[in-house]
Structure 1
Amino acid sequence: MELRHLRYFCAVAEDRHVTRAAERLHVSQSALTQQIKALEEELDTPLLRRVGRGIELTEAGLAFWREAQLILDRVPAAKLIAQETARGLAGRLAIGMTETASFAPPVTAVMKQARERWPQVEFSLIQGRSNELVAALEERRIDVAFMRSPAPATDTLQWRPFLSEGLVVVLPDAHRLAARRSADLADLVEEPLILPRGRSGAGTMRARIAAAFAALGHAPRIVQETPEYVMAINLAAAGFGIALVPAVLAGLRRDGVVYRPLRTSPPLVTEIILVTRSGDPAPVVANFAALCAECGSRADDAGSRSP
């Protein structure tokens, strides 16, 4: 059964006359009759019966006509959605992000622009740790992920930079450094530090912090490890120590703490990266990645001009 069978049958059902339907369809009467007969043979039931010079629908024909009309009415929409999906203008996009990425205004901005630019795309969001998002990407449960660098060490995934930012020191509001506008790393060598447990190894934030302290001839005095940055901020508020967190979290208001930019030479920075599957052919993924490249560049430019 093909769409033309449905079109031919619906034309005959509407006109109640084979000759008039054939003229409207620009086919011969015999060809139209053959197509209707083939349709009846496939369905194994008569759909039409002759009445005088016209025809009428059988009960089966009437039921089939209603359903055939519904199908034909959906064809233009189906064609359009297929074309839009092929161009990445429709479809589905599952996005994962880590806790700190979800707080970043540029991530929020790119999500807002994506929804406005592609209203026919169905977006879904999940939050997780980096290792959970990597697994979700590889298992095709999500399509893209915002996470902290370093990039996952796997050939099945690819990444591109999205946003670079510095660190801030989270201080109890009565701390001796709270009155300053910024804090130097040298001021922290004897301070009890609260750091997220996170990933370990070269390129991670923990490794960079340790290397920065080592350059001063010290090791970081870590007194608490937390599963999330937000908990590190809460522990700082409770007086357990001071925390080092990405600058984006300075927008998270919490009683009992103040945020101060951390000054180091060279600067300690952390990156949010966009991770996708290697060679993913989905146009919606390519479109979103291109938008992220555009928005990420603007965010970095704005950050470089900030005081």
Structure 2
Amino acid sequence: MTDFEELRQLAAFQQSGTLSAAADELRITQPTMTRSMRRLEREFGVQLFDRSAKNRIALTPTGELAADEAKKLVESYENFLEKIRNAANLSKEIVVRAVAPGPLRFLEHAAESNADWRTAITVRGELIEPGVVLDELVQRKATMIITDREIDDPRVDSLYLGAEFLGVAIDNFNPLAQRPSVSFDDLAGLSFVLVHDIGPWKELVEARIPNAQFLYQQDLPALEQISRYSTFPFFYSNLTRNLRLTDERFMTRTRTPVAITDSANRIDFYATFLHANRRVALPIQQYLAQHWPQEA
């Protein structure tokens, strides 16, 4: 029976071009590599290598085909192992991810007040791209992913949660702070301080606010300090307005929260999960949908 490690070595040889380079990449000796390739030839009963050139071997056309197929088999096997290991991990915890930070912050807040959720739910703060949502779920890397679009796929449920709306905190001495609401156009030319990864909101605000500057911050404590000791406006949302971190940014009382009444100021979110995870994911979706804040 063919050893997957030998198939891995064959694929590595095709990629590297020489036995010594492939052996170095796989951290094995060249004699070990040579013996493995000879075993493959004997087992397959075909010639995989052209040894006519002095001190150099190359793949025959049949060998190229074998290496291509070996690469596919190895990748499939590694995906299989990853899926099994991820499934084992998900049996011990409920992992929730999202394409935007607001829903995650709201879920974290909900979990803090629920003893069962606090121990069972793991919220992964690193955002994921919408295009890899299905792969993350199928590979069992997440139990549920909060997406900014409904996923139409027979393997998953994609259930509506609610909409997120932005508000803006404006320096008290700015005339805009005296208004009950503003549009994105009204914010033209301002400089905003905000967290570095805001998912789909990044493209939206950059496209909708003319001539604005966005000062993205990687470090949350630094963001809080800049908010405290500067007059830069910052965004909050209906999902984050009542959270502790947002309250701390308002503690200096130097800014006024102002609603943004703009037709573009809306992103709808969905709880997306495999049918197999419905039993554990559906209660989370239902709770979030029922308690979803309606106004920023």
TM-score for the superposition, normalised by structure 2: 0.49
Which is strand-richer, 1 or 2? Answer: 1
For the pair shown, the structure with the greater C-alpha radius of gyration is 1
